[in-house]
């Protein structure tokens, strides 16, 4: 009867008696020669094949500790590796994703106050877009910092800043950055008629709940259409903010080039009692229409 290859695999392997006898004879002969060389296997466990394996395993167990690193040098080496990896990770995060800044002036009261530490999302602008209402950190376009009142940090705060700078969580050029709120984006018509009047964007008056207590929308009159690739920014503490309104004679009419924007602030991390998310006040701008050619 024909059998499939699978059937042959299932058949038990039968050893002919003669072959089995020959195999046993050969095995006995090998065993006799081993005993002759090593003596009685009972007295010398190493004289058997199992004994050889036991001896080899014992040798490996005795040799293993000699390959392990231990002592102060090993600890220092592992610590150095951890520190280098931590610094490299910090540099990557700071360069491409998140960066820490502190608030040096009262221009954003009471949303942000002096010495608050904030984290900035560096993916906007970039993969993510800027929106009206975002709190942005940007590099001074030129001459803006002259009107800002910056407080000199205490010695202890300076030490903290130096440490954060060293590990990459604080910018080397922190003194060249400002933080403001985006009121208008490219193409928006932003205006205010002066004291007692609201700020308008594309003709819609804004209700601004984030303004500092006692602040009015603007004591400065302005009327501008935001240029392409730019934003119009204002501080929440309007009467103490040297913002876009005071730079209308600059190129761009006071608007900030998007290329100067570092990112969008999304959380306050220090001091602990002020820690929390920084939300975009979307309701303030929800009725503002998209800019048009006539705006």
The CA distance from 216 to 237, in Å, is: 9
H-type helices in 145-250, by residue range? 155-166
Res. 11: pLDDT tops 50: no
Res. 152: pLDDT tops 80: no
**Residues identified as active-site:** 107, 180
Res. 58: pLDDT tops 70: no
Q: What is the pLDDT of residue 124?
A: 84
Instruction: Quick: pLDDT tens for 81-114.
Output: 887 877 776 666 666 688 888 888 899 999 999 9
Q: Which of 74-88, 133-147, 183-197 has the lowest mean pLDDT?
A: 74-88
Res. 40: pLDDT tops 90: no
- For range 270-292, the mean pLDDT: 94
Res. 46: pLDDT tops 80: no
Phi-psi region of 27 (alpha: psi -120 to 50; beta: other; left: phi over 0): alpha
| Cα separations in angstroms, 157 against 151, 154, 212 | 12, 5, 26
Q: What is the pLDDT of residue 52?
A: 55
The CA distance from 273 to 149, in Å, is: 24
Q: What is the pLDDT of residue 254?
A: 95
Q: Give residue 51's pLDDT band: very low, low, confident or very high (50, 70, 90).
A: low
The CA distance from 173 to 162, in Å, is: 12
Q: Are the CB atoms for 79 and 206 separated by under 8 Å? A: no
Task: Give backbone dihedrals phi and psi of 84, rounded to 5 degrees, phi first.
Answer: -65, -45
Res. 257: pLDDT tops 70: yes
Q: Are the CB atoms for 250 and 241 separated by under 8 Å? A: no
Q: Are the CB atoms for 233 and 256 separated by under 8 Å? A: yes
- Positive or negative CA dihedral for 63, 66, 68, 71? positive
Res. 23: pLDDT tops 50: no
Q: What is the pTM of this model?
A: 0.66
């Amino acid at each position: 009867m024909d059998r499939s290859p699978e059937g042959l695999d299932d058949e038990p392997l039968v050893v002919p008696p003669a072959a089995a006898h020959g195999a046993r004879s050969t095995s006995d002969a090998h065993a006799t020669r081993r005993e002759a060389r090593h003596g009685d296997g009972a007295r010398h466990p190493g004289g058997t094949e199992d004994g050889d394996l036991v001896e080899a395993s014992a040798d490996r167990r005795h040799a293993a500790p000699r390959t392990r690193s231990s002592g102060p040098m090993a600890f220092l080496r592992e610590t150095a590796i951890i520190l280098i990896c931590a610094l490299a990770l910090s540099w990557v995060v700071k360069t491409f994703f998140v960066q820490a800044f502190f608030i040096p002036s009262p221009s954003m009261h009471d949303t942000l106050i002096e010495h608050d530490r904030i984290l900035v999302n560096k993916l906007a602008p970039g993969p993510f877009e800027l929106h009206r209402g975002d709190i942005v950190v940007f590099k001074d376009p030129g001459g803006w910092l002259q009107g800002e009142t910056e407080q000199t940090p205490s010695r202890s705060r300076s030490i903290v800043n130096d440490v954060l700078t060293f590990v990459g969580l604080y910018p080397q050029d922190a003194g060249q950055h400002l933080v403001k709120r985006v009121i208008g984006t490219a193409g928006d018509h932003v205006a205010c008629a002066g004291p007692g009047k609201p700020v308008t964007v594309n003709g819609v008056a804004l209700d601004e709940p984030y303004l500092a207590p006692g602040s009015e929308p603007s004591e400065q009159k302005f009327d501008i259409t935001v240029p392409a690739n730019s934003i119009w920014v204002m501080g929440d503490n309007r009467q103490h903010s040297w913002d876009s309104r005071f730079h209308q004679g600059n190129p761009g009419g006071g608007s900030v080039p998007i290329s100067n924007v570092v990112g969008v602030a999304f959380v306050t991390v220090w001091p602990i009692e002020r820690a929390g998310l920084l939300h975009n006040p979307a309701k303030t701008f929800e009725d503002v229409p998209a800019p048009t050619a006539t705006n």
